[in-house]
Amino acid sequence: MINLLLVNLLRKNLGGAILMAKCAICEKAATHGNKLSITRSHISKRSPRTWKPNLRSVKAIVDGETKRIYVCAKCLKDGKVKRA
């Protein structure tokens, strides 16, 4: 179900560590933008903020082996992961 090559590629690119803030299935990652004040006028103050994905650490079957991967809640809900 899950492409082991993708997991291995992530490990190689990051020096052996898998980036925690990224879904292993859909690669959903943190996004950045501006937080607007409540009034939302063109004069309103803007401050930077980060939106993080709803990641869960799950044991999943990857190419016949049980591995612990980080998966977003939407991929779990849609059934894209075969849990161990």
60-83: b (≥16 Cβ within 10 Å) or e: bebeeeeeebbbbeebbeeebbee
Tell me which residue of 22, 36, 37 sits closest to 69, measured CA to CA: 22
pLDDT of 57: 96
Joined together, the tokens standing for residue 47 give 């401050």
Least confident of 28-32, 46-50, 74-78: 46-50
Nearest 5°: phi and psi at 44? -60, 150
For the chain, domains (ranges, CATH) are: 4-78 (2.30.170.40)
Whether 56 has a pLDDT exceeding 90, the answer reads: yes
The Cα–Cα gap between 11 and 24 comes to 11
Q: Quick one: pLDDT band at residue 30, thresholds 50, 70, 90?
A: very high
